[in-house]
Amino acid sequence: MALGMVLAVAAPLGFLVLAQSALTLLAVASLSRAGSNRAVEFFRRRRVGRGLVVATVYVVVVIIFAVLAVVFITPLAPQINHFIKALAGLVANLTRGA
C-alpha cells in the first residue's frame, strides 16, 4: 500500500522533471506567439506574407532586447566590479560586528 502511494506521487513528479525543458519551450513559444500575434495580423491585413512578417517581428523583438541589455548592463558592470572589490571589507566588518 505504501509503495503504491510513493509510486503514485513519484512517477508524475519524475515525469515533470524529465519534461521540464520541453514544457518551458512550449510555454515560451505560446507566449511569444500570443504576444506577437497582434503585430503579425496588422501586417497580414496589408497583404504582406506571413513568413516575412513573423521573421520581421522576431528580429525587431531581438533588437529591442539587445538594446535593453546594453542600456541596463552598461551601468551595472562597474557597480558590480566595485561591489566585488568592496566585498572583502564588508565581510570583515560583519565578522567584527562593526
pLDDT tens sequence across 76-85: 888 888 988 9
Question: Is the pTM of the predicted complex or chain greater than 0.85?
Answer: no
Q: DSSP string spanning 19-56?
A: THHHHHHHHHHHHHHHHHHHHHHHHHTTT--HHHHHHH
Domain boundaries, the chain: 2-72
Residues 19-78: tens digit of each pLDDT: 888 888 888 888 887 878 888 888 888 888 888 888 888 898 889 989 998 998 888 888
Q: How far apart are CA 90 and CA 20, in angstroms?
A: 39
